[in-house]
Structure 1
């Protein structure tokens, strides 16, 4: 540190390389040496802030990068003495550098600001107006390469502040320039990619506030998918060379619209050819297209399942195919989205899912019983979807429960408390009610799963769990089976079960 401080303190023009080296060194050691650096961090950050305005562009750019490496500390220090003042100086300093005349500095500042946004989240809200003014001023100046980074910074801002962005005074700053650019770019222009991604974050953040922009954006996505599917077969007729990235970005933006608008997207879907286009995309040979298509299938299942109905069984069959062992091995992210989409469909369409239940359940059992190391998200989604299928079709699933109950309950233990876990436990209770003797051999695992809740907020589900556990206590109490089960459990698990009256 003394050597670094010595180099940072040299302010003459001839020593700019030494200053740059010192700043680079501080950035390079930020993660690996954070423990040893911690006592010095306030001083380090204070040293760096003035260098954002250094005469030499390389120092300005490397300072942006180095400050971004300390973003977590900068945000964590907001409640410390001078912490907020320091945060404000860094925020304004990076915004000034976003408008730097040097392109390398612009790039470094924009990237650094996006990193700070991720850490700061709601702390950015009081500064939204000035942030948007600077970003959109840069939007009018930047060339193609740096525009991509600016889109990322704007999208990250939307992710960070969410619905706070949905105010007319903010929309008036950033939406008109984005819409103008959106209209200028042709359907074959690859500069659409980052703009589509940016709009995805904005649509999710604004929620219903995006409705005023939704129709042309929705229709453009449909047109892009249609033209690319034609280009795949006949580039001349399509007037474009096939590039599946257009399809992926369009599907992702449609997912953003579904998430943001909720049921408000229904009228747009009803008047479009989205259902048939989506089915084609779900069957695409490219994994990334299938992945985005199945995510959209799940989102549409939540908000307007009625419009999927005419081709429901085809969607279910295609999604189920993604869960066979070879497909899971080849494309785990596709399988993950397929699994989630089937679960979302199940709770909306009920027993209409029956034709694929056995096929899907057998695949989910394989996933749940796989050795450790399988994708954690896929295991969790498999446990939730298995629960949802059990909830809507307990008569079909319950006869097979002895093959998966233990692995399933172990997976349920790892899922955080939320509505998806509630759905899964409704399925657990429905199955046990349908076949209590079939689950008796896995009672210890069922107890551990029930104890994994911090709190079941649904009174109805809480009562169901009480009923199941008390039922087993009565069933097994006479022959000592219940006491034997309790003795096999850890004391903290037994203690948590007391909340269910056992």
Structure 2
């Protein structure tokens, strides 16, 4: 690397320029620290500079006098938002499998500036150097937090920001003092300066995991309660920035706390619905998010008449008030999706108008796309995606209770249109709904079953598979769900689908998508289970890569289905798996426990069948090639 011999001089120079009076110059220099760590350059070159660098970053984290956020610091909660205040939002389509969506909850302000860049650099340095930075940093933080004069509030605010920035990287060193740190932050939620209130919300949210873990001890329980009540109070703040920070922090706390929230549900709902009546448009979206997160966190606990009386009337009133073309409907649709899944059958009293409206939104948007002039509605595919996802939530929540709604609608034909749409995210949500409907009312899909399966198979056999992998993932999952419900009716396309799944399993490393590999292995197993006679003759082509994929899947009912298919194939064509026997044994050993006694016995028969088939020491040879833990696991089958 060309820089290496000059690195000390470069660091020295950047450190000096990072204090430049011209903020643009200082900002450029400040970018260097994150870039240095991201490039994974040797940390020791930076280590000796830390005692000088950290104070520079900390002093640059203090609000500049012309920072736009200072203008937002008045009591502005009753001032309506302008359209330009409302950031565009993006809905992420439903995905089935082990994909996780990273949510950037650290968006403290909207504009990148020296303050934010310095906080980001401190965050990264704390992750690289851990507790080493604490002595220098905590000296600054304690000094700044000890002052209480009005004119030093910006320094106090920067010290709270610093604590939040290092919450992850320095957690080991901070851990023994966290109870005191949290106790110190709680009163700051009521500080007279709104920007101290808002940063205190954010910093407390960064310690959510610890705050929730402490619940089992009396002191921790009281502290959790104080944080919860403090954030709820700030949700009803008169300042929009504080409202936003409190709602986001509360959503983070909800995710960590889950069932711990159940005893406090009434109080939480009252505060959230009070905010719902008070907020302007932009922050309303964050309330929807907090309500949705609450529903995800507490699940069925929400399904009590007292809670529904607080929660549902304001949401339904808003639902009736918004037009089908109003983008403020998106976060409400998402919120209803979470609520319908949490309430399960309890949502049935609200289901019909919600279902009908989703159908009419999808219909009018598909019409607007086909004929923009006469439809009178501007086309926006996000309306379709959100509506499909809400219908998926209804199918998941209501189960077979959705059947009467589906039977009286044209959902089947609309869904087929969505599954052939040119927009990948519309197809992705379409196939998610197809799979959800297959589970609960496959009978209503039957009239167009060949078309659904044909269009789903096409998603798996495309030269651009890497670009539309989430669509393929959902399509693959939906085919498997259909197979177990319609059984033999799927036989005409079994070989077509298998010819698409096998290359996916064989190129698993190149594709590098855990969800798609898992779903392909499960769907192949489900097809083998319902039509073993069609699949068995082709076993040799895919047994090895299939067994490797099966051994990666966590224990659940989908894995059980796949193994029923595996056993059915071996019964039909035992020699087809002989060359992959070691991989088959590894796949069987990947189970912690097969809960179904019937499947356990089938697997046992497979192993004993091969033991009898392999004579003259061939079985022992196979066993000796296995890793000791695998042999241990197989001992429960007495082979």
- Cα deviations by residue, 1:293-313 (Å, 9 ceiling, x for unpaired): 000000000000000000000
Match of 1:405 in 2: 543
Q: Is the 8 A contact 1:294 1:338 kept in 2?
A: yes
* Runs (4+) off by over 3 Å: none
- Cα deviation for residue 177 of structure 1 reads 0.3
Matched, 1:493 2:624: no
**In structure 2, how many angstroms separate the alpha carbons of the residues matched to 1:374 and 1:21?**
41
Question: For the Cα contact (< 8 Å) 2:508–2:517, is it kept in 1?
Answer: no
CA distance in 2, matches of 1:65, 1:79: 24
Counterpart CA distance in 2 for 1:26 and 1:329 is 41
In the alignment, structure 1 residue 191 sits paired with structure 2 residue 191: no
2:515 corresponds, among 358, 372, 377, to 377
Aligned to 2:465, what secondary structure does the other structure show? Answer: helix
Q: Give the equivalent residue in structure 1 for 2:5.
A: none
- Contact (CA 8 Å) 1:327, 1:335: kept in 2 or not? no
Within 5 Å, give how 1:124-139 maps onto structure 2. Answer: 124-139=261-276
- Residue number in structure 2 paired with 1:161: 298
Measure, in 1, the Cα distance between the counterparts of 2:354 and 2:609: 54
Q: 2:159 aligns with which of 22, 41, 44?
A: 22
Q: Which moved more, 1:196-205 or 1:401-410?
A: 401-410
Q: CA-atom RMSD, angstroms? A: 1.0
- Contact 1:346–1:389 (CA<8 Å) still a contact in 2? yes
Contact 2:480 2:526 in 1 (8 A): yes
Whole-angstrom distance in 2 between the partners of 1:218 and 1:330:
32
Question: What is the match of residue 605 of structure 2?
Answer: 467
* Cα shift readout 1:17-47 (whole Å, capped 9, x = no counterpart): 1110100111111122222322222221111
Taking a change above 3 Å as real, the CA distance of residues 90 and 110 of structure 1, as seen in their structure-2 partners, is same
| Residue 73 of structure 2: aligned partner | none
Residue of structure 1 equivalent to 2:592 = 454
Pick one of 520, 529, 534 that aligns with 1:396: 534
Is 1:433 aligned to 2:551, yes or no? no
Report the equivalent of 1:424. 562
Following the alignment from structure 1 to structure 2, what is the Cα–Cα distance between the partners of residues 328 and 302? Answer: 26
Structure 1 equivalent of residue 409 of structure 2: 272
Q: CA deviation at 1:495?
A: 1.4
Equivalent residue number for residue 501 of structure 2: 364
Pick one of 231, 246, 249 that aligns with 2:368: 231
Query: For residues 81-96 of structure 1, what are the structure 2 equivalents within 5 Å?
Result: 81-96=218-233
Deviation at 1:81, TM superposition (A): 5.0
3-state DSSP class of the match of 2:466?
helix
* 8 Å CA contact retained: 1:321, 1:327: no
Deviation at 1:327, TM superposition (A): 4.1
Whether 2:352 is the aligned partner of 1:215: answer yes
User: What is the aligned partner in structure 2 of residue 299 from structure 1?
Assistant: 436
In structure 2, the residue corresponding to 1:391 is in which secondary structure?
helix
Higher relative contact order (CA 8 A, sep 6+): 2
Question: Which deviations, in whole Å up to 9, do the C-alpha atoms of 1:336-375 show, x marking residues without a partner?
Answer: 0000000000000111111221121122111111152511
Distance 1:371 1:431 in 2: 22
Task: State the distance in 2 between where 1:81 and 1:155 align.
Answer: 29
The yes-or-no answer on 1:205 pairing with 2:335 is no
Aligned with 1:329 (options 462, 466, 475): 466
1:79 shift after superposition: 2.1
Q: Distance in 1 between matches of 2:216 and 2:382?
A: 43
Deviation at 1:467, TM superposition (A): 0.6
Q: Name the counterpart of 1:141.
A: 278
Using the alignment, how far apart are the partners of 2:595 and 2:347 within structure 1? 32
Could you tell me which runs of 5 or more consecutive residues in structure 1 were left unpaired when the two chains were aligned.
Answer: none
Rg (Cα) greater in structure: 2
Q: Is the contact between residue 459 and residue 471 of structure 2 (CA under 8 Å) also seen in structure 1?
A: yes
Q: How does the TM-score come out when normalised to structure 1?
A: 0.98
1:31-110 alignment to 2 at 5 Å? 31-110=168-247
Asked if the contact 1:8/1:47 (under 8 Å) is kept, the reply is no
Partner of 2:386: 249
Distance in 2 (CA, whole Å) between partners of 1:77 and 1:378 is: 38
CA distance in 2, matches of 1:56, 1:240: 45
Q: Kindly tell me the number of residue pairs found equivalent between the two proteins.
A: 501
